[in-house]
Structures are given as structure tokens and as C-alpha cells.
Amino acid sequence: MTTPELTVHKYHGLGNDFLIAVDPTGELPLDAVAARRLCDRRRGLGADGLVHSVPGAPSSFRLWNADGSEAEMSGNGLRCLAHALAEVGWAPGWLAGGGSDAVEMSFTTPAGPRTVRLRPGPDPGQAWGSVDMGPVQVAVAGTACNVGDARAEVDTGNPHLVVLGPDPASVDVATLGAALGGAVPGGRNVEFVALGPGPDELTIRIWERGVGETAACGTGSCAAAAAVHRWGRVGTKVTVHQPGGAAEVALGADGTAVLSGPSQRVATCLVPWPAPVGAP
């Protein structure tokens, strides 16, 4: 008897890693339980989240965090999804591992429609993607904060708290991020931000609801750039340094943002599915 298998593609954007399930028929039995099992870093494949997509024009985007909760939006997740769809043949004109022509892909997400422009990287399995992130709304800016110099509540399609100072390297992100993130109903992501190292550059560490500290966060990069721009400390083109590397954020005069950065294919895996008894 043949055991059914689930194909998942693992990609990362600056170390923010995702399992991508491409589902042409829309019939894959994926849910919060599947996300917890697959994303478990000891008993599963390991990832910050599980992305499910039914490809099309537009393609769908649904993301479960590692704990099984759902996220409305992920800039790195969308770039990784676009990269995966291109490499499995859903982006006509894609030249894997070479060429300079970009492809454009549209997506529906719980936060609204998004567009990704993707071009191949210098080596097979690499790509550079730019995501139209939609509106970034800084709801509260310039207020006092008992942690750091200032804070802002920012909506990038999902909720964020941006804290400027102290030095992110000195912050107990696991403890403080969880406390600040869980202080509102439903939770929020938290970015601890410092200016620099250069002009129009920021250095951040991130606590993501449903995951914990992550190596990078696309929506968090946009939230940090928008908040610190509102405070007048950076311009409209911001480099955001994170533990996993640097992303580029371009802030539009209309309040929207474009996130740009690399993605990397890690592996394609065939997993016995449904998961065997005893799986996490």
C-alpha cells in the first residue's frame, strides 16, 4: 500500500523561513494542526510558518504561524511564496538561476491584494523580490514609553509595536517581546529599533506573535521604517538591518511601502501525510 505524501518547499527570506504548500486543486487538508506538526523544529521540518497557496491570477496566500495561529500578512512569506511558485512553473518567463527579466505575480491575502516583482538571483535557488505592501498606518507616534525613547503602534495589514531604543542587542527579546506583544487582545509583533549604523539605516530585533524571536520580519521592517520616518529620523528609502540580514523599504508619499530583499530555496520535501500517530 502506498503511503500518501505531501510535497512542501522550504524557503527563507533573511533567515525567516517558511514551508510552502502549492495546491493547484485547493484540496490539501492543511490547518493549524498541520502547521504545528510541520513547523516543529525537532519533530517536524522546522519553520517560522506554513504557507498554503492555490496558484492562479491572482494566487492565494494563507499563513499559519509555527504555533498554528494565522497571520494576516507576511512580506518575507510572500516573497518566498512567489519564488516557490516561479520555480515550480507558475510564472511564465521565469529563468531560474540566470537572466535579469523580472516576473510579476498578484496575490490575495487576508490583508488585501498584494503584488510581488521577482527576478532571479546570481545562483540557482536564489531570487530578489519586491512586494507592494499596501498602506502602512502609524496609529500612535512619539509617545513616551517605559521601554526605550519612543514607541508607535503600526498597522501593516497585521499589528506591530515599534520601540525606539534601547540598543536591540541589550534587549531580552523573548521576555519583553512576549510581554509587550501580548498586552493587547490578539497579540502583536514587536520591533526593538536603534538608529544606524548609517544614515537612513535602522537596526532591529523582532518578536513575532505565534513564533517568538525571528531572524527577520518583512512587515516589521516596514513598520519600523514608517514609524522612525514619522519621527523625522530617516528618509523614505530605508535599509533595515536584522539578525538575518538587511531588507530595503521604500515609503511612498501615499502611505504605502515596498519591501525588497532576497529569498533562498532550501529544500523540497515529501512528507508522509496525514502525519503518523505520535507526530507533534
DSSP strand pairing (256-272 vs 245-251): antiparallel
For the chain, the domain total comes to: 2
CB-based contacts of 56, cutoff 8 Å, min separation 6: none
182 and 118 in a single domain? The answer is: no
Q: Are residues 50 and 91 in the same domain?
A: yes
In a domain, 279, yes or no: no
The residue segments making up the domain with residue 247 are: 137-254
CATH number at residue 113: 3.10.310.10
pLDDT at position 143 is 47
Q: Are 81 and 90 in contact (CB under 8 A)?
A: no
- How far apart are alpha carbons 213 and 210 in whole angstroms? 10
Instruction: Mark whether 145 and 111 lie in a shared domain.
Output: no
Are both 37 and 123 inside the same structural domain?
yes
The answer to whether 21 touches 11, Cβ cutoff 8 Å, is no
50 and 7 Cβ atoms separated by less than 8 Å: no
pLDDT per residue as tens digits for the range 216-273: 999 999 999 999 999 999 999 999 999 999 999 999 999 999 999 999 999 999 998 8
Within a domain: 204:
yes
Residue 235 lies in a domain: yes
Task: Tell me the per-residue pLDDT of 99-125, one tens digit each, with 9 for 90 and over.
Answer: 557 899 999 999 999 999 999 988 889
Tell me whether residue 75 is in a domain.
yes
> Which residues lie below 8 Å from residue 26, measured CB to CB, with a gap of 6+?
54
Task: Tell me the range of 71-75, 90-94, 138-142 where mean pLDDT is highest.
Answer: 71-75
Q: Does 110 lie in the same domain as 9?
A: yes
| Residue 27 shares a structural domain with residue 76 | yes
Residues 12 and 121 placed together within one structural domain of the fold: yes
Is 57 domain-assigned? yes
- How large is the average pLDDT for residues 173-186? 94
176 with 230, same domain: the answer is yes
Residue 280 lies in a domain: no
Q: Are 120 and 181 members of one domain?
A: no
125/11 same-domain check = yes
Instruction: Render the burial of 116-133: b for 16+ CB within 10 Å, e for the rest.
Output: bbbbbbeeebebbbbbbb
Domain identity same for 228 and 268 = no
Residue 203 Cα distances to 162, 169, 199, 220, 230, angstroms: 12, 9, 11, 12, 17
Q: What is the mean pLDDT of the chain?
A: 91
Per-residue model confidence (pLDDT) at position 275? 62
Q: Domain for residue 238, yes or no? A: yes
On whether both 110 and 227 belong to a single domain, the answer is: no
Is residue 278 one of the residues assigned to a domain?
no
The 10s digit of each residue's pLDDT in 183-220 is 999 999 999 999 999 999 999 999 999 999 999 999 99
Predicted TM-score (pTM) of this structure = 0.93
